[in-house]
């Protein structure tokens, strides 16, 4: 048995692949990992899989229909789990084009390839096939302080080019189920944090900047609220939905952990003060308020009762345990963050990996 993952060299995708191949439940399964290795994709995340014949890495683009058709025909996956995306809101504000291409056109291309492949399957293989679309809570827009958290029934009100592109992809997935009967599942998750998080996002940026003695840039008044979930919990939620979710349904995944940005930054600083104190004094001295993000969503919060009720999923980590593990991981892996920032790993990858091959990262 095989599953096809897209975006499995990124933050969440690589955590998902590592956990999947590590679990006793999937011991007989192979992962075909399709990733274009953009700036956000890093084969170093998958270094633990070196020489593992159950991990087949393919450098390629989800907009490449011929490549996807070939992978489906060759590897005959029982499921596609679709992580690949442009994922950073600030980048989407500066350059939305890449978001439309990968998140909208790429998802469309994958859906069409999956439809052709699934349409030709028969019997049990056809009944068991799943297309799992990994999406975000940002499609629901921004909440006011007094609003209840996002439920699956909330209307879509995306506010950034990123969230609009993800909303578009969610709509395509829904339509391919409704019109063609493609067996799809969608999960909409809140802000993840944990190992291998690219340091353009809030938590890893604060860790690497603090350690380098650089300013910790807090947008606007720092009172924007996000719900934070440890990445391994997101991965277990996706596994639960993939295994037992109802076809055509969407499931919100969240950490029951709403926090203001400034409080997150202060927690990270306090942990660093404890684990790697600076001679210059508390890391919070580096907090710097900067210009706000245009169109900045004020609050996200997730009502994750549906996935708990139907599938028995709840996060295993509290924020206190998850953020400690995260800070400890960055302290234990300074070379990873350095190489990601220098971009040197990208040169190495293109030199080392021209095309498809079994994992040697
Ligand atoms: P990421 O930016 O870290 O990784 C994205 C991966 O996709 C990278 O490895 C990149 O190389 C690859 N990719 C980009 N364009 C591609 C293309 N055209 N073809 C093939 N591969 C391509 O993103 P992430 O944070 O790991 O997010 C993964 C998914 O989860 C995304 O769909 C995102 O919208 C969703 N999501 C993320 C969060 C979060 O907090 N990070 C929360 C909810 C949902
Ligand atoms: O909610 C899920 C989404 O969470 C995912 O779909 C996105 O892929 C992911 O990037 C994330 O989006 P956010 O915009 O919420 O994450 P980010 O880490 O960029 O920012 C978190 C909050 O911190 C947000 O309110 C903006 C603020 N921020 C961010 C950065 C990078 C700052 O104050 N300073 C910063 O330097």
Q: Say if CB 359 and CB 56 are below 8 A apart.
A: yes
Q: Is residue 283 part of a domain?
A: no
Q: What is the mean pLDDT of residues 110-117?
A: 98
Query: Does the beta carbon of 300 lie inside 6 Å of ligand 2?
Result: yes
Assign 150 to helix, strand or coil: strand
Residue 300, pLDDT > 60, answer yes
Nearest protein Cα to ligand 1, atom 10: 41
Cα(89) to centroid of ligand 2, in Å?
Answer: 7
Cα(8) to centroid of ligand 1, in Å?
Answer: 8
Cα(90) to centroid of ligand 1, in Å?
Answer: 14
The residues that bridge with 4 in the sheet, in sequence order, are 32, 80
Q: Say if CB 132 and CB 79 are below 8 A apart.
A: yes
Q: Please, what is the average pLDDT of the chain?
A: 94
- Please give the Cα distance from 190 to 207 (Å, whole number): 20
Residue 76, pLDDT > 50, answer yes
Alpha carbon 169 to chain centroid, angstroms: 15
CA distances for 345 relative to 29, 98, 285, angstroms? 29, 22, 32
Residue 350, pLDDT > 60, answer no
Phi, psi of 137 (to 5 degrees): -75, -15
Residue 359, pLDDT > 60, answer no
Q: What is the pLDDT of residue 355?
A: 46
Residue 353, pLDDT > 60, answer no
pLDDT tens by residue, 133-161: 999 999 999 999 999 999 999 999 999 99
Q: Say if CB 330 and CB 337 are below 8 A apart.
A: yes
Residue 85, pLDDT > 50, answer yes
Q: What is the pLDDT of residue 352?
A: 46
Nearest to 70 by CA among 58, 82, 79, 81: 58
Q: What is the pLDDT of residue 348?
A: 37
Q: What is the pLDDT of residue 345?
A: 40
What is the token pair recorded at 273?
């003060």
> Is 351 or 236 the better-scoring residue by pLDDT?
236
Q: Say if CB 41 and CB 60 are below 8 A apart.
A: no
The residues that bridge with 229 in the sheet, in sequence order, are 192
> Which CATH number fits the domain that encloses residue 68?
3.40.50.720
Q: What is the mean pLDDT of residues 274-287?
A: 98
Q: Which residues are catalytic?
A: 137-138, 162
Q: Is residue 261 part of a domain?
A: no
- Please give the Cα distance from 27 to 20 (Å, whole number): 9
Q: What is the mean pLDDT of residues 65-80?
A: 98
Q: Are strands 357-358 and 2-6 parallel, antiparallel or unpaired?
A: unpaired
Query: Does the beta carbon of 228 lie inside 6 Å of ligand 1?
Result: no
Q: What is the pLDDT of residue 360?
A: 32
Q: What is the mean pLDDT of residues 286-301?
A: 97
CA of 136, closest atom in ligand 2: 6
- Please give the Cα distance from 241 to 26 (Å, whole number): 15
Q: What is the pLDDT of residue 12?
A: 98
Q: What is the mean pLDDT of residues 294-302?
A: 98
SS3 string, 202-234, reads: HHHHHHHHHHCCCCEEEECCCCCEEEEEEHHHH
Q: What is the mean pLDDT of residues 211-238?
A: 97
Nearest protein Cα to ligand 2, atom 25: 224
Nearest to 99 by CA among 65, 132, 69, 136: 136
Q: Is residue 50 part of a domain?
A: yes
Q: Is residue 322 part of a domain?
A: no
Q: What is the pLDDT of residue 27?
A: 84
Q: What is the pLDDT of residue 341?
A: 81
Q: Is residue 168 part of a domain?
A: yes
Query: Does the beta carbon of 49 lie inside 6 Å of ligand 1?
Result: no
Helix H or strand E encompassing 107: helix 107-119
The residues near 233 (Cβ < 8 Å, ≥ 6 apart) are 253, 255, 315, 316, 317, 322
Q: What is the pLDDT of residue 347?
A: 55
Using 50, 70 and 90 to split pLDDT, how confident is the model at 342? Answer: confident
Q: What is the pLDDT of residue 248?
A: 98
Q: What is the pLDDT of residue 356?
A: 42
| Structural domain total, the chain | 1
Q: What is the mean pLDDT of residues 65-74?
A: 98
Query: Does the beta carbon of 190 lie inside 6 Å of ligand 2?
Result: yes
Q: Say if CB 219 and CB 291 are below 8 A apart.
A: yes
Nearest protein Cα to ligand 2, atom 20: 202
Nearest protein Cα to ligand 2, atom 29: 202
Q: Are strands 55-59 and 357-358 parallel, antiparallel or unpaired?
A: antiparallel
Q: Edge-to-edge, what's the strand order for the sheet holding 191-193?
A: 191-193, 225-230, 258-260
Q: Is residue 276 part of a domain?
A: no
CA of 229, closest atom in ligand 1: 40
Using 50, 70 and 90 to split pLDDT, how confident is the model at 358? Answer: very low
Phi, psi of 290 (to 5 degrees): -125, 175
Query: Domain limits at 86?
Result: 2-193+230-256+301-315+344-353
Q: Is residue 12 part of a domain?
A: yes
Nearest to 133 by CA among 15, 248, 227: 248
> Is 361 or 12 the better-scoring residue by pLDDT?
12
Q: Is residue 274 part of a domain?
A: no
């Amino acid at each position: 048995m095989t599953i096809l993952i897209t975006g499995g060299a990124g933050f969440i995708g690589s955590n998902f692949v590592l956990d999947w191949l590590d679990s006793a439940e999937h011991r007989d399964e192979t992962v075909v990992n399709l990733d274009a290795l953009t700036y956000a994709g890093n084969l170093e995340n998958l270094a633990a899989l070196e020489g593992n014949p159950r991990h087949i890495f393919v450098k390629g683009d989800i907009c490449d229909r011929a490549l996807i058709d070939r992978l489906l025909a060759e590897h005959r996956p029982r499921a596609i789990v679709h992580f690949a995306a442009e994922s950073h809101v600030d980048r989407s504000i500066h350059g939305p084009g890449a978001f439309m291409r990968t998140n909208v056109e790429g998802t469309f291309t994958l859906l069409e390839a999956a439809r052709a492949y699934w349409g030709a399957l028969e019997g049990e293989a056809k009944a068991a096939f799943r297309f799992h679309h990994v999406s975000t809570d940002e499609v629901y827009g921004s909440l006011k302080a007094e609003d209840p958290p996002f439920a699956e029934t909330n209307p879509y009100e995306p506010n950034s080019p990123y969230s609009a592109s993800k909303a578009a992809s969610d709509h395509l997935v829904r339509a391919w189920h409704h019109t063609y009967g493609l067996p799809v599942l969608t999960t909409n998750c809140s802000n993840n944090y944990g190992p291998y998080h690219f340091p353009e996002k809030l938590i890893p940026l604060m860790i690497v900047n603090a350690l380098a003695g650089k300013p910790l840039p807090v947008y606007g008044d720092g009172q924007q609220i996000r719900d934070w979930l440890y990445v391994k919990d997101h991965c277990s939620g996706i596994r639960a939905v993939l295994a037992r979710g109802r076809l055509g349904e969407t499931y919100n995944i969240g950490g029951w952990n709403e926090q203001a940005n400034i409080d997150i930054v202060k927690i990270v600083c306090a942990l660093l003060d404890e684990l790697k104190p600076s001679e210059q004094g508390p890391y919070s001295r580096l907090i710097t308020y900067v210009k706000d993000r245009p169109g900045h969503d004020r609050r996200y919060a997730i009502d994750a009762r549906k996935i708990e009720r139907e599938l028995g999923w709840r996060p295993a980590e509290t924020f206190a345990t998850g953020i400690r593990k995260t800070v400890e991981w960055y302290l234990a892996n300074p070379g990873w963050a350095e190489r990601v920032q220098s971009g040197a790993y990208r040169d190495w990858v293109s030199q080392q990996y021209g095309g498809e091959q079994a994992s040697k990262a």
